[in-house]
């Protein structure tokens, strides 16, 4: 009988479960949902950044570079086209290269090579003028090299390097012209 008394008194005592305290007491059941929202938010932001990066890389590779550039930096297909058309010989590489064709396909442009400014249009050389002693005029969108009555005009888009080309050509135009080496007859020719 004493066993019945003990068990009945134990049954009558209220049991207490630990409860969260403070403002989190109401959110205890929402913990998993809040964690899921956090993970979904991070996933969404990382996917958005990935897609934006991919779109920008496609966009930047699609837009061709029309800026004035070193011949070494010019795309190899551009230089190969110039070799095919006879603008460049063999393994020649221009000091400076600028494509000003409408479609930026390399069909016309200006390049600096061997102390000359070369203009090519319609896939062939239009004009070659020496830089030494030339008169140079430059704006943000046009560089003009005049040698006597002949002149070469290289159009640029704003910000594509017209000022740099004009400055370089002005510096080079002040240098004296380099004379080609004099060929002398070899005395052992038998004559």
Give 39-86 as a DSSP string: HHHHHHHHHHHHHHHHHHHHHHHHS---S-EETTTS-HHHHHHHHHHT
Counting the structural domains of the chain, the total is 1
- Enclosing domain of residue 89: 69-173
Q: How far apart are CA 66 and CA 157, in angstroms?
A: 8
Does residue 64 fall inside a structural domain? no
What CATH number does the domain containing 80 carry? 2.30.29
Does residue 23 fall inside a structural domain? no
Q: What is the pLDDT of residues 70-99, one digit of tens each?
A: 888 888 888 888 888 888 888 889 999 998
Does residue 44 fall inside a structural domain? no
Of 120, 136, 138, 140, residue with least CA distance to 128: 120
Does residue 118 fall inside a structural domain? yes
pLDDT band at 49 (very low <50, low <70, confident <90, very high): very high
Does residue 98 fall inside a structural domain? yes
Q: What is the pLDDT of residue 31?
A: 73
**Which 3 state secondary structure label does DSSP give 170?**
helix
DSSP per-residue string spanning 141-186: SEEEEEETTEEEEEE--TTSSHHHHHHHHHHHHTSPPPPPPPP---
Does residue 134 fall inside a structural domain? yes
Does residue 57 fall inside a structural domain? no
Mean per-residue pLDDT of the chain: 81
Does residue 100 fall inside a structural domain? yes
Tokens 């049954």 correspond to 11
Q: What is the pLDDT of residues 158-179, one digit of tens each?
A: 888 899 999 999 998 888 766 6
Q: Which helix (H) or strand (E) holds 151?
A: strand 150-155
């Amino acid at each position: 009988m004493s066993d019945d008394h003990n068990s009945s008194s134990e049954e009558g005592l209220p049991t207490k479960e630990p409860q969260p305290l403070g403002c989190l007491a109401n959110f205890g059941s929402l913990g998993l949902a809040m964690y899921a929202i956090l993970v979904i938010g991070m996933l969404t932001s990382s996917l958005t950044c990935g897609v934006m990066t991919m779109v920008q890389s496609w966009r930047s590779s699609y837009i061709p570079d029309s800026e004035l550039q070193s011949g070494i930096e010019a795309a190899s297909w551009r230089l190969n086209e110039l070799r095919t058309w006879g603008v460049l010989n063999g393994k020649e590489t221009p000091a400076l290269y600028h494509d000003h064709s409408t479609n930026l396909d390399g069909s016309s442009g200006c390049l600096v090579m061997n102390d000359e400014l070369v203009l090519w249009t319609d896939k062939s050389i239009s004009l070659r003028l020496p830089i030494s002693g030339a008169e140079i005029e430059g704006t943000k969108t046009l560089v003009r090299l005049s040698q006597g009555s002949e002149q070469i005009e290289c159009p640029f888009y704003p910000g594509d390097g017209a000022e740099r080309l004009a400055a370089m050509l002005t510096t080079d135009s002040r240098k004296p012209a380099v004379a080609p080496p004099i060929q002398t007859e070899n005395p052992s020719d038998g004559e």
